[in-house]
Amino acid sequence: MSEPASIKPRTWRPIALWSAAILLALGLAWFVGAVAVPVWQTRAAVKKHAINSDFIGAVRSLGGPEQAASKLRFYFLLPERWTESRWFAARLLGHCGPSAAPSLRRLLRAPESESTDVRIQALDSLNDLAPSSAVPELIAALEDKDPTVRSMSAKVLGRIGPQAQEAVPALTRILTDIYSNTRCSAARALGEIGPGASEAIGPLTKAGVDPEGEVRAAAAEALKKIRGEEPKP
């Protein structure tokens, strides 16, 4: 009878374990380098420069507008208790150029997790950038419970201008807002949208008898712009 073949040791198990350990180490290294370090740098920069509202210095310390926008994106994914001066960070995004728009849009989509101050600063930043991509979030913000958020959202939509035409129905609704600042901002925004806001002519005409003179003036100016009337010299 022939000798039984010897059982070969299973060498794949230690290889698999080593491979898993290497992959885990690589993943950890990526997380530290791509997420943890940038977040730590951002937190330090925000804390340092928020004292004097030094936006230019903060952008420079984060590597310029593009890198600052990228680092701030991760920063706002963290819970508020792990971050510093989120209001300053939100305003800082306005100094980072168009690449900051997605982060600003996300801030408007999270009224339950971001404070009113942070969202107001995000709106200020959006007013600087005026990205048409933010129109859906701005329309939703017109229904915000805070009157300043509503008013500023209308202001940004006006800054975007004709590209914000889809906001006309929502802007028309807040022409009857309880706060005059919001009504005024809505009328001005409709005027900046121009002829594309023709469906608002009726409500703007009614706003011409608003109790507040500033609202009446804004409505009258908006009607001229929508109708394409030349301003008087």
**Over the stretch 200-214, which tens digit does the pLDDT of each residue have?**
999 999 999 999 999
Is residue 146 over pLDDT 70? Answer: yes
What is the distance of C-alpha 164 from the center of its chain?
16
What is the distance of C-alpha 223 from the center of its chain?
30
- Give the model's confidence band at 22: pLDDT under 50 very low, under 70 low, under 90 confident, else very high: low
Tell me, what amino acid is at 64?
A: G
Cβ 170 vs Cβ 138: under 8 Å: no
**Over the stretch 58-104, which tens digit does the pLDDT of each residue have?**
999 999 999 999 889 888 888 887 788 999 999 999 999 999 999 99
pLDDT given for residue 33 in this prediction:
44
**Rounded Cα gap, residues 216 and 175, in angstroms:** 11
**Over the stretch 114-136, which tens digit does the pLDDT of each residue have?**
889 999 999 999 999 999 999 99
pLDDT given for residue 45 in this prediction:
86
Average pLDDT, the chain: 86
